[in-house]
Amino acid sequence: MCGIVGYVGNGNASDFLIDGLRRLEYRGYDSAGIAVYDHGEIKIEKKQGRLVNLENVLKDHPLSGHIGIGHTRWATHGKPSDVNAHPHGDCHNHFVIVHNGIIENYMTLKKDLMAKGHVFKSETDTEIVAHVLEEVDDGDFLSTVQKMLTIIEGSYSLVILDAAHPDTIICTKKNNPLIIGLGKGENFIASDIPAVINHTRDIYILQDEELAIVTKGSVQLLDRDGNPIHKEIQKVTWSAAAAEKGGYPHFMLKEIFEQPKAVHDTVAIHLNKDGSVNFDDLGWTKECFEGITNILITACGTAYHAGLVAKHYIERFVKIPVSVEIASEYRYSKPLTSEHTLCIVVSQSGETIDTLEALKEAKRHGARSLAVTNSIGSSIAREADHVVYTLAGPEIAVASTKAYTTQLVALLLLALYMSQLKNSISADLIQKITEGLKDLPKQIEKVLGEKDHMSDVADRLIKAHDIFYLGRSIDYAIAMEGALKLKEVSYIHAESYAAGELKHGTLALITQETPVIAVATQDNVSSKMYSNIQEVKARGAEVLGIGYDDDEEIGKYTTETVRIPRVDPFIAPILSVIPMQLLAYYTSIKRGNDVDKPRNLAKSVTVE
């Protein structure tokens, strides 16, 4: 949560800070602020609401200087307001900071500092850090920061200005991301790569409890005790254009339309010419699975839904029982995980705190671990024993689309690879599915052709108060993702249901006022699904079916059907989710919502 930027160089700091914040606004957007060392003092401007509000303030009160920090906020402690917006300063704005995370012991510290005469302006946990710095200031910027770090508890990325050292920024992190972009005669700090990509492709990814002393000509990396550390410079491989809208009105639509490429790229790196699957980098052998009696998949939100689909893949192909757990539940569940468990965590950002902690919990119980993530070098990627990267490219819209479909692809390939090692299914079946995966980008293109159709359907849904999403087997997992997508961007209540479960209570809610989306791609349960569609139709519901183009039956029962090409039922979810993504997108924009930045949400959830 929250986007952080910092700049030191010869340029106008405000320009980079505002541009960087715009590119990080997906991380938080309830207030924004910047601080710049301007004519001998650190000046702060901050404003509640979207970044544009801050830009308007800066038109009348520009900040000019060559060093500064900025922040776009997603409120945790203290409501969104001008005064609670970051940056925060101490009593004299001598130390000014921006922060992402939570300072857990702030109440105790605040009481002590108030007793010593410190005056607090905001309700935030963050402001405490500036006052602790002021309290322990010994004139040496680094040692003051080190002392402060021994006092605060919690999670943080922190970027700090010190009025006595107007050429230097110090930053550090724990359980929240922070990168440093290396320029020529200028350096950049940010929570995420899109903020710096227009300026440099060379970055350092800071690890927990590392510190960086950043000036315009140097970046010194240190451990918490001040010992120098060496770190490889990472080259960002994707282009600046990948983090731009590129002619699309919104990132969400662009990212939906990037799925053919994202899926192609994720498939291509794991397929051998003979149709077998290659994850040889993992260094796994048949023997690796000998002691594994169960697989745990844990994740949050959309990534959790990808895990629910993967359960079907793994149980069918690898023949090991799989449990799928919501990470925030798993981590406090006193789990029965053991050294016989393989724990798979799924996370687009690689920074979701609940998923990271669930992974650590599984490891504490002896589990071996693998992360499926879209973020190279992220906390989750580093914590897991093994990593599989999805090649979705940067996903900026808060609602996940291409990251989800690439997670499905990576998990399907992984299940096939495990079954290849274990010899648990035939080479022919593996080849049949991999052939299907090779064709998938073309099939996705075809489904994207349903764009206008889904826009028309959205016209009829925008007034609905409740929408039901039904499916059976894998289609139930997809229905869950469809409902989440609609809820988060359209703000219409949607509920997903295992279609066979409806008559055990929920059918009471179905009337002509409750449109139903019914997914029917799993051949082994399609006749059951048709019956369930008739049950809701008989109660007056309008039903939008999602079925194969050669399915002659489904259209007899639905009000309207959107068609996907006939593919293997294990591949079908990667296609059937696309009409639901489009439907969510159009419903959102037709209701006048900010589809890329839905209310109350942020992209990377690094708080509990």
Instruction: Enumerate binding residues for ligand F6R (CB under 6 A).
Output: 300-303, 347-349, 352, 355, 399-400, 488, 604-605
CA 387 distance to own-chain centroid = 17
Q: Are 18 and 51 in contact (CB under 8 A)?
A: yes
Q: Are 183 and 23 in contact (CB under 8 A)?
A: no
The question of whether 273 is a catalytic residue gets the answer no
> Is the CB of 13 or the CB of 370 nearer to ligand F6R?
370
Relative to beta strand 493-498, strand 169-174 is: unpaired
The distance of closest approach from Cβ of residue 363 to ligand F6R in the complex, given in angstroms and rounded to an integer, is: 17
Tell me the C-alpha distance between 342 and 318, whole Å.
Answer: 12
> Is the CB of 181 or the CB of 482 nearer to ligand F6R?
482
Question: Which CA distances in Å does 575 have to 445, 457, 579, 595?
Answer: 10, 18, 8, 22
Of 110, 173, 174, 603, catalytic: 603
- Eight-class DSSP state of 106: H
Of 2, 171, 300, 343, catalytic: 2
> Is the CB of 127 or the CB of 258 nearer to ligand F6R?
258
Nearest C-alpha neighbor of 218 from the set 204, 205, 238, 207: 204
Tell me the C-alpha distance between 27 and 45, whole Å.
Answer: 20
The distance of closest approach from Cβ of residue 234 to ligand F6R in the complex, given in angstroms and rounded to an integer, is: 19
| β-pair partners for 221 | 212
Q: Are 282 and 463 in contact (CB under 8 A)?
A: no
> Is the CB of 1 or the CB of 63 nearer to ligand F6R?
1
The distance of closest approach from Cβ of residue 95 to ligand F6R in the complex, given in angstroms and rounded to an integer, is: 32
The distance of closest approach from Cβ of residue 347 to ligand F6R in the complex, given in angstroms and rounded to an integer, is: 3
> Is the CB of 3 or the CB of 436 nearer to ligand F6R?
3
Tell me the C-alpha distance between 266 and 410, whole Å.
Answer: 7
- Eight-class DSSP state of 232: P
Nearest C-alpha neighbor of 482 from the set 503, 507, 449, 454: 454
Q: Are 356 and 175 in contact (CB under 8 A)?
A: yes
The distance of closest approach from Cβ of residue 491 to ligand F6R in the complex, given in angstroms and rounded to an integer, is: 14
The distance of closest approach from Cβ of residue 601 to ligand F6R in the complex, given in angstroms and rounded to an integer, is: 8
Q: Are 193 and 161 in contact (CB under 8 A)?
A: no
Cβ contacts of 221 within 8 Å, gap of 6 or more: 204, 206, 210, 211, 212, 228, 229, 230, 231
The distance of closest approach from Cβ of residue 166 to ligand F6R in the complex, given in angstroms and rounded to an integer, is: 37
Q: Which residue is nearest to ligand F6R (CB)?
A: 301
**Burial level of 241, CB count in 10 A (0-12/13-18/19+)?**
exposed
The distance of closest approach from Cβ of residue 392 to ligand F6R in the complex, given in angstroms and rounded to an integer, is: 11
The question of whether 171 is a catalytic residue gets the answer no
Quick one: tokens of 417? 């690879």
> Is the CB of 351 or the CB of 450 nearer to ligand F6R?
351
Tell me the C-alpha distance between 82 and 219, whole Å.
Answer: 32
Tell me the C-alpha distance between 469 and 481, whole Å.
Answer: 9
> Is the CB of 4 or the CB of 502 nearer to ligand F6R?
4
> Is the CB of 301 or the CB of 565 nearer to ligand F6R?
301
- Eight-class DSSP state of 113: H
Residues serving a catalytic function are 2, 603
